[in-house]
Amino acid sequence: MLKVAGKQEENPEFATLFFNSSLIFKPGQFIMLWIPEVDEKPYTLSSVSDKKFGITIEAKGIFSKKAISLKKDDLVGIRGPFGNGFTLPKPGDSIAIVAGGCGLAPLAPLLDRINHDRVSITCIHGARSKDYLLFKDRFKFERYFCTDDGSLGHKGFVTDLLKEKIADGNTFNKVYTCGPEIMMHKVFEICEKHNIHCQVSLERYMRCGFGLCGACVCGKEVVCKDGPVFGSEKLRDMEDFNKTALLKSGKEVALDDYFAWRHP
Amino acid sequence: MLKVAGKQEENPEFATLFFNSSLIFKPGQFIMLWIPEVDEKPYTLSSVSDKKFGITIEAKGIFSKKAISLKKDDLVGIRGPFGNGFTLPKPGDSIAIVAGGCGLAPLAPLLDRINHDRVSITCIHGARSKDYLLFKDRFKFERYFCTDDGSLGHKGFVTDLLKEKIADGNTFNKVYTCGPEIMMHKVFEICEKHNIHCQVSLERYMRCGFGLCGACVCGKEVVCKDGPVFGSEKLRDMEDFNKTALLKSGKEVALDDYFAWRHP
Amino acid sequence: MSIQFLDTTLKNTTVLASGILGNNKDILERVYNNGCALVTMKSIGPEPRDGHNNPTVIDLGHGIINAVGLPTPGYTNMEKEWKDLETRDFPLSASIYGGSVEEYARVAEFVSKQKPDMIEVNISCPNSEKHGMTFGVHAKSAHEVVSAVKKVTNVPLIAKLTPQALNIAEIAKACEDAGADAICAINTVGPGMVIDIESGMPVLDFKKGGLSGPMIKPVAIRCVYDIYKAVKIPIIGLGGISTGEDAIEMIMAGATLTGIGSAVKTRGINVFGLVTKEMTRWLDRHNSTIDSIRGAAH
Amino acid sequence: MSIQFLDTTLKNTTVLASGILGNNKDILERVYNNGCALVTMKSIGPEPRDGHNNPTVIDLGHGIINAVGLPTPGYTNMEKEWKDLETRDFPLSASIYGGSVEEYARVAEFVSKQKPDMIEVNISCPNSEKHGMTFGVHAKSAHEVVSAVKKVTNVPLIAKLTPQALNIAEIAKACEDAGADAICAINTVGPGMVIDIESGMPVLDFKKGGLSGPMIKPVAIRCVYDIYKAVKIPIIGLGGISTGEDAIEMIMAGATLTGIGSAVKTRGINVFGLVTKEMTRWLDRHNSTIDSIRGAAH
Ligand SMILES: Cc1cc2nc3c(=O)[nH]c(=O)nc-3n(C[C@H](O)[C@H](O)[C@H](O)COP(=O)(O)OP(=O)(O)OC[C@H]3O[C@@H](n4cnc5c(N)ncnc54)[C@H](O)[C@@H]3O)c2cc1C
Ligand SMILES: Cc1cc2nc3c(=O)[nH]c(=O)nc-3n(C[C@H](O)[C@H](O)[C@H](O)COP(=O)(O)OP(=O)(O)OC[C@H]3O[C@@H](n4cnc5c(N)ncnc54)[C@H](O)[C@@H]3O)c2cc1C
Ligand SMILES: Cc1cc2nc3c(=O)[nH]c(=O)nc-3n(C[C@H](O)[C@H](O)[C@H](O)COP(=O)(O)O)c2cc1C
Ligand SMILES: Cc1cc2nc3c(=O)[nH]c(=O)nc-3n(C[C@H](O)[C@H](O)[C@H](O)COP(=O)(O)O)c2cc1C
Ligand code: FES
Ligand code: FES
């Protein structure tokens, strides 16, 4: 068990919890957060320094609401880190980061790790509205925002901006994306069209987190272990990407039904 | 399980079994030898080199007879090494080794380890008769022999020779002894009289070999773990030394009864 | 080292344990392609069931504790899964459970129409108050369940037993008498409990959970040893196997096949291929065959 | 952290488990001097008995397997031991076993005259075909044994239980009803078996043996948890405790005292002092007391 060492309220529905503990991890990996007597759910690491790490949570259902209401010194259980993480860009790469809402969380430590002098980065970040844009002051480099309500940046989708950047003549060789699955799927399609390698971070219901129980299986991939990050090679074969997911019972359903089931 | 890699028949009743396996050990430590479907008993390591070790066995009862009749490639189980081992002499020490019969086995690797240029060694070795003197050709330095029947060396006891050496003006600061317990006790008494530090290697019925089951307990000492080597400080307090031992049932009996019980 | 088991020819002795990696064709096929000879589905029950809340599966270092709690879509609720599996080209065992003898029979009857190569009757799950284990700890109820299932299906039957039974050999014999074609032993041990001392809470939401992995191997070996003495039908030995040597030990205890569950965590999905390779190497080095070492410890 | 247990004041919660280090005053006194609050003797039986041949005790890394086989000089055959123990100045629990209800009573009657501070009735040993465990797996026989013993002695009684019972809470309740003053749980788990694959032989001469040490802790915690719910008498929690944290976990499950067996191998005789120090440090850091955390997991 670890004590919550601090909390940063990003906005009324997003908060980052910090813990004083060192983790050896790769950007894109996740931990299982246990709130005793509530539940245990996966969260990607959104910041990691020598002796501290953080996870950023969007209040959605019972669990995540409970999580962002945790106070300093509250005890929670942390298992992990689990999963594969992103493949880091190489010097000389030109990459795009495409994040939807809380999807910036796993991408943020990737941005921290990259040597910005050697990798050219285009960061596109979308949210419902201005207040829901995560980590607005965390990064020094320029970012391209879009909001559903137009309260900041482009009014519309991150995919619009990605297409625009490509049309503008930017030649990306890697795109990293995290956000709603439908958004990631669109990003993947754009990448396929332009022959860009794409990495997405998938989300499925999880139990063990280490590739045993099968709760998170997506096609022939075990999301908690083979993923949560999948690159274009695997995505091409992944029929269930943006299509189906397993309920807690193990039943395979359409993605919409999966998210509907999760309503409190 | 290990295969018997070789056997040296020291005489009709003594044999050394060799195994190809490296052991990190201290002279005086022992292993548990398991002969499937027979039994498992403790034996001190009588020789250890880089990739090979040996145990020297005197045929007494059913088990040890079976052990010396093992052939090359027979499979046995080896657990260990266990126990504390001897405290090695320091440069400048003048020591005596007093061995009775198979009691030379644990002392032999001690002799191997000592730098003979820096430690003065007097080695006294006794046996029933000439043929029962172990490792007659193993060591290059001079040894003093005694036999019950006078077939080699002094006719009589090793303790006679030890007393003689002391009377001759040899000033030992350490005596290492192994052999029948009554002999070791006599050696200890001589050492006490002359203020010499003494180390003896005790033998008790053993089960676990690692200080759990209590089968080998002698007073407040656990012979398999605190021993089998005990120095003068402990021996002085050890009321059961040369007096009592535990039977397999756990019953404490006089040493004579202990050995009588063990008759086949 | 191909081997005949019930009516099926298997490419080696390794079996995916029930409850590991689920029920979907793609992932089960991947397990098969990674060297597994026979894949067992996650136990399927009579009604849709979510199982327990998390935490449900915890790594203890020398093994796993789990109380997943028999989640299941329910046997009638798996059209897609069954349809996908129709076209499989690998041997499949369908594991089933129920809350009553009648339920076991009902599930078995339906499932056998989906044409699995065998049906495993799970009378040994400790992670639900109502289901499973209760039937596996008494010879009488074990006999009833297997008999009832036998009546409604021609698919070869495997009875999966719990080490919690006072006399597992007796249970195995009762299952054999009731028509079981094979025994699978063992399901998880215990149950156990792990308390987080900082919060003072059991770490599993269900509080108790079954133990698996290396720490239960001695119990599994003993059970298979006891069962081998008591029955003539073949045994799937399961519990704590991670290496070829572990599998050899299980076969020496009397097993025909060797199941693998928790080791999928420690060695990955490829564990089946690795274990088979290690077994082959061991057998070659010892000039032995699977058949010559089976039951060698007796 | 002195603690009241039955009629005795103990200096802390640690207890030497039965069967560890034997029955002789000198060694038991050394255990006491190394921080142990209550020492339990090796189980004493009705007739002299050698126990099994070696190998009898094997280290498995994450625990121990043993089939020592209840060696005993026999209760009437221990004049020296009893005489030495008369002059002890440490709390002593005498463990006893029998092959019948009458034998338990006979041994208990004699042993209580030697004035141990308590008597532990071992109805849970798996390592003999005739003795011990059979009584501990059924509530009726457990009740009979404890009742019979209670009739012949005024010494406080502890019933030592086996996790192999289908419902250990029910057995504990039966013992309480029969007059037991405390429960000790658990004896070894299993039994298990380990086969040496080179020789194809079970490594224990008795083939099967009880499991102890870290790997059984989750089973022990669950048992104590279940028993705590079922009885009012105090519990000696035992099984897999090696550290102060393990002992805290056991107390949170409901134990009053914390027994230690196999950890004597891994941490030495001083384990009792070490565990107590670790417990004290933990309690201080958490501003807690033994009494405030007992049963906290419920
Ligand atoms: C590998 C992995 C990493 C994750 N990392 C993070 C993270 O860093 N931050 C974070 O906030 N969450 C993350 N999640 C999601 C998280 O685990 C929970 O699922 C989420 O917090 C909702 O849990 P809940 O119980 O509060 O809501 P639920 O009761 O499960 O759902 C409440 C509502 O939210 C909707 N909802 C839930 N999840 C999603 C989703 N992914 N997309 C769209 N709608 C959704 C549901 O449809 C429902 O309407 C991650 C999940 C995985 C598998
Ligand atoms: C730590 C330790 C190290 C040992 N190292 C060796 C070793 O290196 N080589 C070796 O041969 N043995 C050694 N032993 C003794 C060995 O373990 C067996 O006890 C011995 O081989 C006899 O076993 P057995 O079953 O054949 O004879 P048993 O059936 O036990 O005895 C047969 C006969 O031998 C007598 N006898 C047995 N042991 C002794 C003894 N120690 N002193 C006097 N008489 C005895 C018995 O009284 C009986 O008459 C060691 C014992 C211990 C505890
Ligand atoms: C996460 C998990 C889920 C399990 N689910 C089931 C199940 O649904 N049905 C079943 O019969 N056994 C189930 N088991 C038990 C395994 O099939 C197997 O019997 C047990 O884990 C012992 O094997 P192992 O030590 O190789 O893991 C499950 C085990 C685990 C770890
Ligand atoms: C070598 C050995 C001998 C044992 N002998 C006895 C015994 O005679 N009577 C008994 O009640 N329990 C006996 N036990 C069981 C222990 O008392 C204890 O219940 C068990 O080992 C679990 O505790 P642990 O995990 O701390 O070792 C023995 C255990 C071992 C390892
Ligand atoms: S969560 Fe268990 S396999 Fe992924
Ligand atoms: S042989 Fe077990 S304690 Fe020494």
Q: How far apart are the first and last CA of chain D?
A: 23
- Residue C82, pLDDT above cutoff 50: yes
The chain-wide mean pLDDT, for chain B, equals 93
How is residue A249 annotated by DSSP? Answer: T
In terms of Cβ atoms closer than 10 Å to its own Cβ (0-12, 13-18, 19+), residue B2 is: middle
Q: Are A178 and A184 in contact (CB under 8 A)?
A: yes
Alpha-carbon distances of D123 from B214, D59, D143, D190, rounded to whole Å: 21, 25, 10, 15
Inter-chain residue contact C225 with D252, CB threshold 8 Å: no
3-state secondary structure chain D: CCEEECCEEECCCEEECCCCCCCCHHHHHHHHHCCCCEEECCCECCCCECCCCCCCEEECCCCEEECCCCCECCHHHCHHHHHHHHCCCCCEEEEECCCCHHHHHHHHHHHHCCCCCEEEEECCCCCCCCCCHHHHCCHHHHHHHHHHHHHHCCCCEEEEECCCCCCHHHHHHHHHHCCCCEEEECCCEEEEECEECCCCEECCCCCEEEEECHHHHHHHHHHHHHHHHHCCCCEEEECCCCCHHHHHHHHHHCCCEEEECCHHHHHCCCHHHHHHHHHHHHHHHCCCCHHHHCCCCC
- As a whole number of angstroms, the distance between CA A30 and CA A160 comes to 29
- A115-136 pLDDT, tens digit per residue, is 888 999 999 999 999 888 888 7
Of D189, D225, D248, the CB nearest to C197: D248
Q: In degrees rounded to 5, what are phi and psi of residue B122?
A: -120, 120
Measure D79 CA to nearest chain C CA, in Å.
38
Kindly give the distance from the C-alpha atom of residue C188 to the centroid of ligand 3, in angstroms, as a whole number.
6
Instruction: Evaluate if residue B73 carries a pLDDT over 80.
Output: yes
Would the pLDDT of A264 be above 50? no
pLDDT digits (tens, 9 = 90+) for C102-155: 999 999 999 999 999 999 999 987 666 566 568 999 999 999 999 999 999 999
Please check the confidence at residue A33 and state whether its pLDDT lies above 70.
Answer: yes
Q: In 3-state terms, chain A is what percent helix, strand and coil (to 5)?
A: 20, 35, 45
Domain spans of chain A? 2-82, 86-201, 205-227+238-264
Structure tokens at B36: 């499937």
Q: How many CA atoms lie within 13 A of D167 on its CB side?
A: 11
Q: What is the mean pLDDT of chain A?
A: 93
Task: Tell whether A62 is within 8 A of chain C (Cβ).
Answer: no
Establish if C151 belongs to a structural domain.
Answer: yes
Q: What is the pLDDT of residue D129?
A: 59
The sign of the CA dihedral D137, D140, D141, D147 is positive
Q: Which CATH number fits domain B2-82: 2.40.30.10, 2.60.120.10, 1.10.3260.10, 1.10.287.110?
A: 2.40.30.10
Query: Distance, CA C259 to ligand 3 centroid (Å)?
Result: 10
C-alpha C138 – ligand 4 centre gap (Å): 28
Task: Report pLDDT for B264.
Answer: 45
Could you give the CA distance from residue A226 to residue C234 in angstroms, rounded to a whole number?
A: 35
- Report how many domains make up chain D: 1
What is the average per-residue pLDDT within C41-63?
A: 96
- Looking at residue A115, its pLDDT comes to 85
* Mean pLDDT within C230-247: 98
**CA atoms in the 13 A half-sphere facing the CB of A196:** 27
Highest CATH level, class, for A86-201: alpha beta
User: Of B221, B191, B185, B187, which Cα lies nearest the Cα of B204?
Assistant: B221
**pLDDT range class, residue B137, cuts 50, 70, 90:** confident
**CA separation, residue A55 to residues A19, A28, A68, A81, A141 (Å):** 9, 11, 10, 12, 22
> Which of A32, A39, A41, A212 has the most ligand 5 atoms within 8 A of CB, as the residue to mutate?
A212
Q: pTM for the full model? A: 0.96
For the segment A146-171, the average pLDDT, to the nearest whole number, is 92
Is D81 within 8 Å of D39 (Cβ atoms)?
no
Q: Ligand 1 centre and the CA of D84: distance in Å?
A: 68
Say if the Cβ atoms of B214 and D21 lie within 8 Å. Answer: yes
Tell whether C295 is within 8 A of chain D (Cβ).
no
Assess if residue C298 is contained within a domain. Answer: no
SS3 B100: strand
Q: Where are the alpha helices (DSSP H) in B102-157?
A: 104-113
Is there contact between A and B if contact means ≥3 C-beta pairs under 8 Å? no
Side chain identity at residue C191, one-letter code: P
- The answer to whether the CB atoms of C193 and D63 lie below 8 A apart is no
Quote the tokens at residue B258: 């202990």
pLDDT reported for residue C125: 75
The 10s digit of each residue's pLDDT in C155-171 is 999 999 999 999 999 99
**CB hemisphere CA count around D201 (13 angstroms):** 16
**Domain B2-82 and domain B86-201 have a common topology:** no
Q: In angstroms, what is the span from residue B240 Cα to ligand 6's centroid?
A: 16
Is C249 near chain D, with CB under 8 Å? yes
- Report whether residue C241 contacts ligand 3, using a CB cutoff of 6 Å: yes
Q: Residue C277: which H helix or E strand, with range? A: helix C271-285
Whether B169 has a pLDDT exceeding 80, the answer reads: yes
Range of the domain at D98: 3-293
Cβ–Cβ < 8 Å for C17, C64: no
CB contact under 8 A, B212 and D42: no
CATH code, domain with C143: 3.20.20.70
Q: Quick check: is D36 catalytic?
A: no
Measured between CB atoms, which of C26, C57, C262 is closest to A220? C26
Sign of CA dihedral C17, C18, C21, C23: positive
Helix (H) or strand (E) holding A252: strand A252-254
Partner residue opposite B250 with nearest CB, options D20, D58, D72: D72
| Contact indicator for D183, C208 with CB cutoff of 8 Å | no
Ligand 5 is surrounded, with C-beta below 6 A, by: A 206-209, 211-216, 222-224
Closest CA to A132 of A162, A104, A96: A104
List strands edge to edge, sheet with D189-193: D57-59, D64-66, D208-212, D189-193
Q: Residue B181 CA: which ligand 2 atom is closest?
A: 42
Which structure tokens are listed for B152?
């080699």
Counting one residue from chain B and one from chain D, the pairs whose CB atoms sit within 8 A come to 117
Identify whether D18 is part of a domain: yes
Ligand 1 atom nearest to CA at A62: 26
Q: Do C57 and A213 touch (CB under 8 A)?
A: yes
Please tell me the predicted confidence (pLDDT) of residue B12: 85
pLDDT lower than 50: segments of chain D: none
Backbone angles phi, psi at D186, to 5 degrees: -130, 160
DSSP-assigned beta bridge partners for residue A42: A32
Subunit contact D222:C191, Cβ cutoff 8 A: yes
Q: Is residue C52 part of a domain?
A: yes
Helix/strand/coil for C131: coil
B22-43 residue pLDDT tens: 888 999 999 999 999 999 999 9
Task: For chain B, list the strands marked E by DSSP.
Answer: 2-11, 14-19, 30-35, 39-49, 52-58, 75-82, 94-100, 120-127, 144-147, 154-155, 174-178, 197-201, 217-218, 221-222, 229-231, 244-246, 252-254
How many Cα neighbours within 13 Å face the side chain of B189? 10
Query: HSE-up of D148 (CA within 13 Å, CB side)?
Result: 20
Is the ipTM higher than 0.90? The answer is yes
Is there a contact between D219 and C201 if contact means CB atoms under 8 Å apart? no
Q: So what's the pLDDT on residue D156?
A: 98
Which structure tokens are listed for C252? Answer: 């020496």
Probe ligand 3: pick from C187, C189, C205, max atoms within 8 Å of CB? C187
Nearest Cα residue to A78 out of A49, A40, A106 = A40
